[in-house]
Protein backbone atom coordinates (compact mmCIF):
# COMPACT_ATOMS: atom_id res chain seq x y z
CA UNK A 1 0.00 0.00 0.00
CA UNK A 2 1.43 3.44 -0.99
CA UNK A 3 1.92 6.24 1.54
CA UNK A 4 -0.46 8.46 -0.42
CA UNK A 5 -3.24 5.84 -0.16
CA UNK A 6 -2.58 5.48 3.54
CA UNK A 7 -2.81 9.26 3.99
CA UNK A 8 -6.13 9.34 2.10
CA UNK A 9 -7.52 6.53 4.25
CA UNK A 10 -6.38 8.24 7.42
CA UNK A 11 -7.92 11.54 6.28
CA UNK A 12 -11.21 9.85 5.48
CA UNK A 13 -11.20 8.18 8.83
CA UNK A 14 -10.70 11.53 10.52
CA UNK A 15 -13.11 13.60 8.40
CA UNK A 16 -15.73 11.10 7.14
CA UNK A 17 -17.78 9.70 9.96
CA UNK A 18 -19.74 7.32 7.73
CA UNK A 19 -16.52 5.92 6.25
CA UNK A 20 -15.13 5.55 9.71
CA UNK A 21 -18.15 3.49 10.86
CA UNK A 22 -17.99 1.41 7.71
CA UNK A 23 -14.30 0.54 8.27
CA UNK A 24 -15.00 -0.19 11.94
CA UNK A 25 -17.81 -2.51 10.93
CA UNK A 26 -15.60 -4.27 8.43
CA UNK A 27 -12.88 -4.69 11.01
CA UNK A 28 -15.40 -6.07 13.53
CA UNK A 29 -16.83 -8.51 10.98
CA UNK A 30 -13.37 -9.76 10.19
CA UNK A 31 -12.77 -10.43 13.86
CA UNK A 32 -16.10 -12.14 14.07
CA UNK A 33 -15.27 -14.31 11.08
CA UNK A 34 -11.92 -15.18 12.57
CA UNK A 35 -13.61 -16.04 15.79
CA UNK A 36 -16.17 -18.10 13.93
CA UNK A 37 -13.34 -19.95 12.21
CA UNK A 38 -11.74 -20.61 15.55
CA UNK A 39 -15.06 -21.73 16.98
CA UNK A 40 -15.58 -24.04 14.00
CA UNK A 41 -12.14 -25.52 14.58
CA UNK A 42 -12.97 -25.95 18.24
CA UNK A 43 -16.30 -27.55 17.34
CA UNK A 44 -14.54 -29.89 14.94
CA UNK A 45 -12.05 -30.82 17.63
CA UNK A 46 -14.83 -31.21 20.16
CA UNK A 47 -16.74 -33.41 17.72
CA UNK A 48 -13.67 -35.54 17.21
CA UNK A 49 -13.17 -35.76 20.96
CA UNK A 50 -16.85 -36.59 21.38
CA UNK A 51 -16.63 -39.31 18.74
CA UNK A 52 -13.55 -40.66 20.46
CA UNK A 53 -15.36 -40.57 23.79
CA UNK A 54 -18.35 -42.25 22.22
CA UNK A 55 -16.10 -45.03 20.90
CA UNK A 56 -14.50 -45.32 24.33
CA UNK A 57 -17.94 -45.43 25.92
CA UNK A 58 -19.02 -48.08 23.42
CA UNK A 59 -15.92 -50.10 24.23
CA UNK A 60 -16.55 -49.63 27.94
CA UNK A 61 -20.14 -50.72 27.52
CA UNK A 62 -18.98 -53.83 25.68
CA UNK A 63 -16.46 -54.49 28.44
CA UNK A 64 -19.20 -53.97 31.01
CA UNK A 65 -21.52 -56.35 29.19
CA UNK A 66 -18.71 -58.90 29.00
CA UNK A 67 -18.02 -58.45 32.71
CA UNK A 68 -21.71 -58.81 33.45
CA UNK A 69 -21.82 -62.05 31.47
CA UNK A 70 -18.72 -63.24 33.31
CA UNK A 71 -20.35 -62.31 36.60
CA UNK A 72 -23.51 -64.22 35.66
CA UNK A 73 -21.36 -67.21 34.68
CA UNK A 74 -19.39 -66.94 37.93
CA UNK A 75 -22.61 -66.72 39.91
CA UNK A 76 -23.86 -69.87 38.20
CA UNK A 77 -20.53 -71.59 38.92
CA UNK A 78 -20.73 -70.41 42.52
CA UNK A 79 -24.28 -71.73 42.86
CA UNK A 80 -23.16 -75.03 41.33
CA UNK A 81 -20.20 -75.19 43.73
CA UNK A 82 -22.47 -74.39 46.63
CA UNK A 83 -24.79 -77.21 45.60
CA UNK A 84 -21.79 -79.53 45.28
CA UNK A 85 -20.58 -78.43 48.70
CA UNK A 86 -24.00 -79.09 50.23
CA UNK A 87 -24.01 -82.50 48.55
CA UNK A 88 -20.46 -83.24 49.74
CA UNK A 89 -21.35 -82.14 53.25
CA UNK A 90 -24.30 -84.52 53.17
CA UNK A 91 -22.03 -87.30 51.92
CA UNK A 92 -19.50 -86.49 54.65
CA UNK A 93 -22.17 -86.62 57.33
CA UNK A 94 -23.37 -89.94 55.92
CA UNK A 95 -19.81 -91.28 55.76
CA UNK A 96 -19.15 -90.16 59.31
CA UNK A 97 -22.27 -91.97 60.47
CA UNK A 98 -21.19 -95.07 58.54
CA UNK A 99 -17.67 -94.78 60.00
CA UNK A 100 -19.01 -94.42 63.54
CA UNK A 101 -21.29 -97.38 62.93
CA UNK A 102 -18.32 -99.35 61.57
CA UNK A 103 -16.23 -98.44 64.62
CA UNK A 104 -19.02 -99.57 66.89
CA UNK A 105 -19.26 -102.84 64.94
CA UNK A 106 -15.47 -103.31 65.12
CA UNK A 107 -15.57 -102.76 68.88
CA UNK A 108 -18.38 -105.28 69.12
CA UNK A 109 -16.43 -107.76 66.97
CA UNK A 110 -13.31 -107.23 69.08
CA UNK A 111 -15.33 -107.91 72.21
CA UNK A 112 -16.80 -111.07 70.69
CA UNK A 113 -13.36 -112.15 69.43
CA UNK A 114 -11.93 -111.59 72.89
CA UNK A 115 -14.67 -113.73 74.37
CA UNK A 116 -14.13 -116.36 71.67
CA UNK A 117 -10.37 -116.38 72.27
CA UNK A 118 -10.92 -116.84 75.98
CA UNK A 119 -13.43 -119.60 75.27
CA UNK A 120 -11.07 -121.34 72.83
CA UNK A 121 -8.21 -120.96 75.27
CA UNK A 122 -10.33 -122.42 78.06
CA UNK A 123 -11.50 -125.29 75.84
CA UNK A 124 -7.90 -125.92 74.75
CA UNK A 125 -6.70 -125.97 78.34
CA UNK A 126 -9.64 -128.18 79.29
CA UNK A 127 -8.95 -130.68 76.49
CA UNK A 128 -5.24 -130.76 77.40
CA UNK A 129 -6.01 -131.38 81.07
CA UNK A 130 -8.59 -133.97 80.11
CA UNK A 131 -6.08 -135.64 77.78
CA UNK A 132 -3.37 -135.83 80.46
CA UNK A 133 -5.81 -137.33 82.96
CA UNK A 134 -7.11 -140.06 80.62
CA UNK A 135 -3.67 -140.86 79.17
CA UNK A 136 -2.20 -141.16 82.67
CA UNK A 137 -5.05 -143.43 83.68
CA UNK A 138 -4.57 -145.77 80.70
CA UNK A 139 -0.80 -145.85 81.27
CA UNK A 140 -1.21 -146.73 84.93
CA UNK A 141 -3.49 -149.59 83.93
CA UNK A 142 -0.68 -150.78 81.67
CA UNK A 143 1.80 -150.51 84.54
CA UNK A 144 3.49 -147.33 83.28
CA UNK A 145 3.72 -144.46 85.74
CA UNK A 146 4.56 -140.98 84.45
CA UNK A 147 3.59 -137.45 85.42
CA UNK A 148 2.28 -135.51 82.44
CA UNK A 149 2.55 -131.82 81.73
CA UNK A 150 3.40 -129.48 78.82
CA UNK A 151 6.94 -129.07 77.50
CA UNK A 152 7.93 -125.69 76.06
CA UNK A 153 10.99 -125.57 73.83
CA UNK A 154 12.44 -122.57 71.94
CA UNK A 155 11.30 -124.10 68.65
CA UNK A 156 8.02 -125.73 69.66
CA UNK A 157 5.56 -126.57 72.43
CA UNK A 158 4.48 -130.10 73.25
CA UNK A 159 1.27 -130.08 75.27
CA UNK A 160 1.47 -133.69 76.50
CA UNK A 161 4.86 -134.72 77.86
CA UNK A 162 6.07 -136.91 80.71
CA UNK A 163 8.95 -139.23 81.61
CA UNK A 164 9.38 -142.13 84.00
CA UNK A 165 12.35 -144.39 84.61
CA UNK A 166 12.22 -146.14 81.24
CA UNK A 167 9.25 -144.56 79.54
CA UNK A 168 8.65 -141.23 77.84
CA UNK A 169 5.31 -139.93 76.54
CA UNK A 170 5.17 -137.29 73.78
CA UNK A 171 1.82 -136.20 72.46
CA UNK A 172 -0.71 -133.61 71.34
CA UNK A 173 -4.32 -132.90 72.21
CA UNK A 174 -7.01 -131.37 70.02
CA UNK A 175 -10.80 -131.21 69.72
CA UNK A 176 -10.76 -132.13 66.04
CA UNK A 177 -7.81 -133.01 63.84
CA UNK A 178 -6.69 -134.69 60.63
CA UNK A 179 -3.52 -136.31 59.38
CA UNK A 180 -1.60 -133.03 59.73
CA UNK A 181 -1.59 -133.36 63.53
CA UNK A 182 0.14 -136.76 63.30
CA UNK A 183 2.78 -135.25 60.99
CA UNK A 184 3.35 -132.36 63.45
CA UNK A 185 3.79 -134.83 66.32
CA UNK A 186 6.36 -136.82 64.38
CA UNK A 187 8.29 -133.61 63.59
CA UNK A 188 8.34 -132.64 67.27
CA UNK A 189 9.59 -136.10 68.18
CA UNK A 190 12.39 -135.73 65.61
CA UNK A 191 13.26 -132.34 67.15
CA UNK A 192 13.63 -133.96 70.58
CA UNK A 193 15.82 -136.74 69.19
CA UNK A 194 18.10 -134.40 67.28
CA UNK A 195 18.42 -131.41 69.63
CA UNK A 196 17.05 -132.46 73.04
CA UNK A 197 17.76 -136.21 73.49
CA UNK A 198 17.94 -135.68 77.26
CA UNK A 199 14.14 -135.31 77.31
CA UNK A 200 13.69 -138.84 75.92
CA UNK A 201 13.96 -142.33 77.40
CA UNK A 202 14.61 -145.82 76.06
CA UNK A 203 10.91 -146.38 75.36
CA UNK A 204 8.88 -143.57 73.76
CA UNK A 205 5.10 -143.54 73.33
CA UNK A 206 3.69 -141.09 70.79
CA UNK A 207 0.10 -140.24 71.62
CA UNK A 208 -2.72 -138.16 70.14
CA UNK A 209 -5.81 -137.31 72.17
CA UNK A 210 -8.47 -136.12 69.71
CA UNK A 211 -12.18 -135.81 70.46
CA UNK A 212 -13.14 -135.99 66.77
CA UNK A 213 -10.38 -137.58 64.62
CA UNK A 214 -10.80 -137.75 60.85
CA UNK A 215 -10.61 -141.15 59.13
CA UNK A 216 -7.25 -140.29 57.52
CA UNK A 217 -5.82 -139.46 60.97
CA UNK A 218 -6.94 -142.84 62.32
CA UNK A 219 -5.30 -144.66 59.40
CA UNK A 220 -2.10 -142.60 59.63
CA UNK A 221 -1.80 -142.98 63.40
CA UNK A 222 -2.19 -146.76 63.12
CA UNK A 223 0.42 -146.90 60.35
CA UNK A 224 2.93 -144.86 62.38
CA UNK A 225 2.31 -146.63 65.67
CA UNK A 226 0.78 -143.59 67.36
CA UNK A 227 -1.59 -144.21 70.24
CA UNK A 228 -4.86 -142.43 69.29
CA UNK A 229 -7.72 -142.05 71.77
CA UNK A 230 -10.43 -139.89 73.28
CA UNK A 231 -12.25 -140.08 76.62
CA UNK A 232 -14.60 -142.88 75.59
CA UNK A 233 -12.65 -144.74 72.93
CA UNK A 234 -9.21 -145.87 71.75
CA UNK A 235 -8.99 -145.61 67.98
CA UNK A 236 -5.47 -147.10 68.05
CA UNK A 237 -5.23 -149.02 71.34
CA UNK A 238 -2.28 -148.58 73.70
CA UNK A 239 -1.93 -152.36 73.89
CA UNK A 240 -1.36 -152.56 70.12
CA UNK A 241 1.23 -149.76 70.28
CA UNK A 242 3.13 -151.47 73.11
CA UNK A 243 3.06 -154.80 71.30
CA UNK A 244 4.51 -153.12 68.25
CA UNK A 245 7.40 -151.83 70.34
CA UNK A 246 8.13 -155.32 71.69
CA UNK A 247 8.27 -156.65 68.13
Ramachandran region of residue 167, left (φ > 0), alpha (ψ -120 to 50) or beta? beta
- Work out the pLDDT band at 165, boundaries 50, 70, 90: confident
pTM, 2 dp = 0.53
User: What is the 8-class DSSP label of residue 231?
Assistant: T
Mean local confidence (pLDDT), 31-47: 68
Average pLDDT, the chain: 80
Strand, coil or helix: what is 228?
Answer: strand
What's the confidence (pLDDT) of residue 207?
97
Give the dihedral sign, CA 150/153/156/161: negative
Q: What residues have CB less than 8 Å from 23, skipping those under 6 apart?
A: 13
Task: Summarize pLDDT for 46-74 with one digit per residue, the tens.
Answer: 677 767 767 776 777 777 677 777 767 77
Fold of 142-246: Trna Endonuclease; Chain: A, domain 1 (3.40.1350)
Q: E strands within the chain?
A: 149-152, 157-163, 167-177, 203-213, 227-230, 233-236
Strand, coil or helix: what is 202?
Answer: coil
Strands 233-236, 227-230: parallel, antiparallel or unpaired by DSSP?
antiparallel
Q: Where are the domains of the chain?
A: 142-246
Cα angle at 115 between 157 and 182, to 5 degrees?
A: 30
Tell me the C-alpha distance between 181 and 187, whole Å.
Answer: 10
Amino acid sequence: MSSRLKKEIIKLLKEDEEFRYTVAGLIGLSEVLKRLDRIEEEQKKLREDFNSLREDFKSLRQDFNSLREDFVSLRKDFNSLREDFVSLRGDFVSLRKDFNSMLAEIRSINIRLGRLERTVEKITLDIEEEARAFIKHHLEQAGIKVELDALKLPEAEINIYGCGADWCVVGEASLRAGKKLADELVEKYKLLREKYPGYLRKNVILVLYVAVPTPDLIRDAEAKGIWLLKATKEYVPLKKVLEGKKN
